[in-house]
Amino acid sequence: MTRPYIYITRKCSEEQLAPLYEVADVDMWPEEETACPREILLEKAEKADGLLTMLSDSIDRELLDKASHLKVIANLAVGFDNIDVPYANSKGIVVCNTPDILTDTTADLTFGLLLSTARRLMEASEYVKQNQWKSWGPLLLAGHDVHHKTIGILGMGKIGQAVAKRATGFDMKVLYHNRSRNEQAETSLGAVFTSFDEMLATSDFIVCLAPLTNETRELFNKDAFKKMKKSAIFINAGRGAVVNEEDLYNALVNGEIAGAGLDVFLNEPIGAEHPLVGLHNVVALPHIGSASYETRYSMMNLCAMNIAAVLNGNEPKTKVVI
């Protein structure tokens, strides 16, 4: 009997993918930092029973129409806006993601990004490396305090709550805006539910952890930035398309807000030529929210277990339901 065929769109740890090798023939794109070309992905999808995909892979109708054998897609991410889930489901294809595993790791990175931006840590490090440190000065590379300030979190899901928990250790006041109130966050963390506009106007740090939806696309635009304090710092560890990048650039250049820390962008990857990267008050990271060895290995293993479960006729652990 022919074994199922699995294609993995980026080089992953074979040790973490062991559940797949037990049940299928596995083929993997050999590069870690270079995406699998679209034409190859389409070719592999035509014969694949399962796909292990990255957030950067577009799993659209064109691909799904070609993938006549496909039974399961496991996305190495919490998000799944790169996959046409309803269309996949209509073809009987199960879609899985990797929630929960990366909650604390992403929260660590988000708060680290906030600290780095507020205290100008990246600038300070480069200042020393470029041999510019000649003497001590009272306001040399002075930044903004984080402790006892107000943080506003858009998206009080599990990652949002984990960020809020870290904020309480800095004696911060926690505001949040969500589609619905999160009573657990209010009870356990003292978070205060506000309107979006009130959160923008009163927070010293605005942290975006919202998923990309029709409602959140370009939610952070010129109108939103104008409502923020001039001393406010904007942090985005959610989705790049939630921000109008041109409006953010103008807000930073015109002094409407003080700084931005960004782990996600509209069109990734970006380089030094990106307008936001050249600004001294921007910390730009290459989408590394969940990038710890422990977390990424666990995500790979969960993807493998989900695919193996479906191919064996069982229910996967983390099926996407919309």
- From-to residues of CATH 3.40.50.720 in the chain: 5-100+293-311, 103-284
Q: What tens-digit pLDDT sequence spans the chain (322 residues)?
A: 689 999 999 999 999 999 999 999 999 999 998 999 999 999 999 999 999 999 999 999 999 999 999 999 999 999 899 999 999 999 999 999 999 999 999 999 999 999 999 999 999 999 999 999 999 999 999 999 999 999 999 999 999 999 999 999 999 999 999 999 999 999 999 999 999 999 999 999 999 999 999 999 999 999 999 999 999 999 999 999 999 999 999 999 999 999 999 999 999 999 999 999 999 999 999 999 999 999 999 999 999 999 999 999 999 999 999 8
Q: Which fold has domain 5-100+293-311?
A: Rossmann fold (3.40.50)
Q: Say what the pTM is.
A: 0.92
Tokens, residue 294: 């422990």
In the chain, the largest separation of any two C-alpha atoms, in whole Å, equals: 75
Let me know if 129 is exposed, middle or buried by CB neighbors in 10 A (0-12, 13-18, 19+).
exposed
Q: Is 179 a catalytic residue?
A: no
Q: Is 69 a catalytic residue?
A: no
Q: What are phi and psi of 128, to 5 degrees?
A: -75, -45
pLDDT at site 120: 98
Could you give the C-alpha distances from 239 to 42, 207, 210, 244, 266, in angstroms and in order? Answer: 25, 12, 7, 11, 8
Q: Is 198 a catalytic residue?
A: no
Q: Catalytic residue among 31, 62, 268, 294, which? A: 268
Let me know if 232 is exposed, middle or buried by CB neighbors in 10 A (0-12, 13-18, 19+).
buried
Tokens, residue 46: 């035509």
Q: Catalytic residue among 239, 245, 256, 274, which? A: 239
Q: Are 46 and 68 in contact (CB under 8 A)?
A: yes
pLDDT at site 1: 64
Q: Catalytic residue among 46, 123, 218, 287, which? A: 287
Q: Tell me how many helices (H) and strands (E) the chain has.
A: 12, 12
Let me know if 218 is exposed, middle or buried by CB neighbors in 10 A (0-12, 13-18, 19+).
middle
| Buried/exposed 81-112: b ≥16 CB within 10 Å, e otherwise | ebbbbeebeeeebbbbbbbebbbbbbbbbbbb
Dist CA 186 CA 190 (whole Å): 5
Give the distance from CA 170 to its chain's centroid: 23
* Domain 103-284 annotated CATH 3.30.70.1150: no
